[in-house]
Structure 1
Amino acid sequence: MRNVSGLVLPKVGAVRSTTSRELPWQITGLPAASDNRVIEGFLLELSTNDCSSQTLRSYAFDLLRWWRFLAVIGIRWDAATREDVRDLVLWMRQPQPTMGARPYLPASINHMLSVLSVFYAHHAQRGIGPVVNPVPAAPSGVRRYAHHNPMDAYKTGQRAPYRQRTMHTRPRALSDDLIDRTFAALTSTRDRALVAMYLATGARASELLGMTGRDVDWGNQTVAVISKGTRAYQWVPTSPDSLTWLRLYLDEAPPAGLGDALWRTLRRPHRPLNYSAMRAALERVNKSLGTDITLHDLRHTCATRLANDPAVPLTDVQAVLRHAHLSTTSRYIHVQTQDMLARVRQHHQKPPGQPQPTKPAWGYDSSDLADLFGESQ
C-alpha cells in the first residue's frame, strides 16, 4: 500500500483563462507538452458540447489536481490504475494544511471522480489511455434511476466504489446579526454594494460579477443577469437598499460606459472584478470575524427569507432564483433556528399557570336577527 498521509502536491501547472470563445480555460505549465494537449483536447470536446465556461473551469482544476497527484506518485496519466484513484480518494479524505486542516468535502471528492471517469472514457473511445477506466463504475453500470417508473417507489441503491456518502443538509442562511457584522467588516463601498445585491437578488456569484452598466433598471428596481445554467438574459428584482449602495459605489468609481463591466477593481488600472478577487474580500471578513461565510451563503439567505415569507408565493421564489423545478425551491422552507429559539424563550418567560386568552365564540349579531325576523323575534 502507498502511504499518502502528509502528501504535499507540487505546484506544477496552472489553470489560465484565455480570450478564446472555443476554449476559455486551459491548463498550462505541465512538464510534458503532450499532457497539455491531452487535456486541451478533452476541454475542447466539452466546449463543443455546449458546456458553460464555469464547467470547463471546474473540470480543469480537478484535472490539474489529478496531474499533480500523479507527479507525486510517479505515474503517467495513461498508466493510472484503480489503486491510484483509490489513493487519491484517501489523500483527499485526510486533513489538508492548505484548507485549515480540513479534508475535502464528500461532494468535492465525488465531483473529482466524475470528472476523471468522463475524462478516461473520452480517451478510451479514441484508443488512448488505459484499457480499463481506472474510476470504478456502479455495479449496474448505468445511472441510477435513469429509466425509473414514476409509479414505483425509489429503492436505495449501492453507491459506486470510492463514492462518498453525502448528507442532504438544509441550505445555510445567515442571521441578521451576522449580516450586520459582515457589513461592518467590509472595507469598501463596492463590497457592501455587492453583498447587498447578493442578499436582495439571490443571484449566483458569477452572475452578478458579469453585469454591465446597462443591466440596471433603476425605475423598476431590477437588474439583469445571465443565468448560469440556461445562459438566458433575465431580469430579477432587487431592493431599494441595494440600489442605494450601488449608487454610492458608482459615485466613487463610475464605469466608463454602459457596456463596460459594472463591478471593477479599486486599484488602477481598473479591471473587471472576478470571482477570485471577490472571494478574497470575503475571506478577509471571515478572518476578521472568525467565520466561514461563502458567496453562495448569500444566495441561500435571500432564498430562505423569501420562501418563509407567507406573503410571497413559492412560485415567485422559484422565478426569482430561476430554479427549473419547484422541489429545489421547497428546500428553503424550514424553521429558522434563531426564530425558533426566540419563540421558545418567550414561552419560558411566561408565568407558570397563566391561562391562555380565549377567543370569543362565533355568533350572530342581535341587530342582524332583528332586521331579518322582526322585533318580535
Structure 2
Amino acid sequence: MGARTGEIERDITAIRLPKWGRVIPAEGVVPWLVVGPDEEPVEPIRRYLRDFTARNRPGSVRSYAYGLLRWWRWLQAVGVEWDRATTAEARDLVLWLRQADKPRNSPRRASAHTAGKVNPITRKRNLGDGYEPRTVRHNNAVVRSFYEFWLEIGEGPLVNPVPLDRKGRRPHAHHNPLEPFRAEGRIRYNLKVPRSRPREIPDECWKELFGSLRSNRDRAILALDLSCAARASEVLGLRGVDLDWGDQLVRVRRKGSDAEQWLPASPEAFIWLRLYLADLGLLEPNDPIWWTLRRRDHGDGLRHQPMNYDALRAVLRRVNALLGTNYTMHDLRHTAALRMSRDESLSLRDVQTILGHAHLSTTADIYLIEDEARVIRRVAEHLAARELRAQQPPPPVAVGYHATDLDVLFGGLPR
C-alpha cells in the first residue's frame, strides 16, 4: 500500500484472469451479450450494449462485448466491484496486458518458432503471443465508453476510471470552423502505436501467391479484392445483386458508415468470378456470393454455407504455409492503393473515393509516401558514386604551386 495515497500496489505479474463468463450470440436487438457463470446476462453490460447498438453498427457490438468481458474478469481477479473501479484498476490492467500472454484455445504448433518475428520474404512482423498496443488502446476505449454511458444516465460511479489527459486546455478552444470536430484529449494510459507503412505485394510474389490458390472461388475473391481495393468484410458481404457484369462494377457496403458504393473491378477478376459461379451453380440474386463447404452438427455431411472471415483467413493460412509468407487480405488493399497512388492519371481524390476514406488527409498520410525501394536505390547510387570518386586520382596541382607545400598546408588530405 502506498505511503501517501493508501493505494494498493498489486503484484501485476502474479495476477491470473479467471475464466469467468463468456460472450454469446443473442436473439433480439442486441446481437451479442456477456453472460456470467450462471448463463445470465450481466445487467450493466447488457444495458450498455443496448444503447451502443442503437448508436453504432451491430458488427462492432461483438468486439465491445469481448472488451467488457476482459474488464469484468479483471475486476474479478482484483476483487473490485464494477461501480467502485478507480484509475488504479484501469492503469494496472494496462500494465498487466503489457506483460501477459493472450489465452489460446490450443497451443501453437507450426507458428511457434515464428511468433513475434519478422518474415524474411514479406518483411512483416508476425503477431506475437502478447497483447498488441492496438488491443490495449481498444480495451481502454471500450471501458471508457462503458463508464461514460453510466455517468450520463447518473446511475454509475462519479468518476470515469479511464481518464483523459487534457493538459489544462478547454476542449475545442481554438477549433477551425472549416475542419471537422475531433476528439479532444488523449486517454492517459494509451500505448503509442508505431506508425506502420503500407506493404505492397510485389508482382512476382503476387504471381506465386495467386498460383498457389486451390479453387476458382479463392482466385476470384483475391483478384477482385486486389482490383477494387475493398476491405475483406466488404468483399465478403457481396450478393448477387451487387454485381454489374456489363460495366464490371461491384457494390460494397462501407465499413463504419454502411453506405453503398459501386467500385470498378478488373476484367480478370470478373473472369474468375464467372468461372467460380459456374462451379457453384444456381444463385439467387439476394444470396451471398461466397460459399464454403462445412460439416454441420446434424450429421448429414458437408453442406454449403456462407463464407465468413475465419474461412477466408484459412485460405491465406494455407497459402502462407506453402510459400513461407504471412500475407493478409489487407495487404491486397494496400497493394491496390499504392498502385493507384503512383498512377499519374489518377488524383489523390480518386484514390480516396475508391478506398472509402472520410478524409483526404487519411489517404495522403498513409499512401502518399515516397516508395521505400526507390529511396534505397537512390541512396545506394549516391554511396557508389562517392566510392568511385574516392578511388580516382587527385587532380594535378595548378601551375605555380608545389604539391609538397599543399600537403603541408592541408595535412596531406586528398585534393
Q: TM-score normalised to the size of structure 1?
A: 0.79
- Do residues 271 (structure 1) and 305 (structure 2) align? yes
Q: Which runs of 5+ in 2 are unaligned?
A: 1-8, 105-114, 116-127, 179-183, 295-301, 390-415
Q: 1:324 to 1:140 in 2, by over 3 A?
A: same
**C-alpha distance in 1, partners of 2:281/2:39?**
44
**C-alpha distance in 2, partners of 1:142/1:29?**
41
- Do residues 103 (structure 1) and 109 (structure 2) align? no
**C-alpha distance in 1, partners of 2:170/2:339?**
35
Matches within 5 A, 1:88-237: 88-94=93-99, 96=101, 98=103, 100=115, 101-140=128-167, 145=172, 147-149=174-176, 159-237=186-264
- Do residues 60 (structure 1) and 65 (structure 2) align? yes
Letter in 2 for 1:283: R
Q: 1:205 to 1:146 in 2, by over 3 A?
A: farther
Maintained 8 Å contact 1:236/1:320: yes
- Do residues 14 (structure 1) and 22 (structure 2) align? yes
**C-alpha distance in 1, partners of 2:370/2:65?**
39
Deviates more, 1:218-227 or 1:71-80: 71-80
- Do residues 40 (structure 1) and 76 (structure 2) align? no
Letter in 1 for 2:353: A
Maintained 8 Å contact 2:340/2:346: yes
- 1:318 pairs, out of 312, 328, 352, with 352
**C-alpha distance in 2, partners of 1:272/1:149?**
47
Q: Secondary structure at the residue paired with 1:234? A: strand
Aligned residues: 346
How far did 1:252 drift? Answer: 2.0
How far did 1:48 drift? Answer: 1.7
Counting aligned pairs with the same residue, the percent is 42
Maintained 8 Å contact 2:26/2:33: no
- 1:302 pairs, out of 333, 336, 340, with 336
Maintained 8 Å contact 1:308/1:334: no
Partner of 1:26: 32
Could you report, residue by residue, the CA deviation over 1:303-325 in whole angstroms, capped at 9, with x for unpaired residues?
A: 11111111222221122112222
How far did 1:73 drift? Answer: 3.2
Letter in 2 for 1:13: G
Could you report, residue by residue, the CA deviation over 1:262-302 in whole angstroms, capped at 9, with x for unpaired residues?
A: 11123332221122322233334344444433322221221
Q: 1:146 to 1:328 in 2, by over 3 A?
A: farther
Letter in 2 for 1:4: I
Q: Secondary structure at the residue paired with 2:346? A: coil
**C-alpha distance in 1, partners of 2:96/2:211?**
38
**C-alpha distance in 1, partners of 2:261/2:187?**
38
Q: 1:142 to 1:167 in 2, by over 3 A?
A: farther
Maintained 8 Å contact 2:24/2:35: no
Q: 1:142 to 1:289 in 2, by over 3 A?
A: farther
Q: Which runs of 5+ in 1 are unaligned?
A: 152-156, 354-377
Q: Secondary structure at the residue paired with 1:270? A: strand
Maintained 8 Å contact 1:13/1:27: no
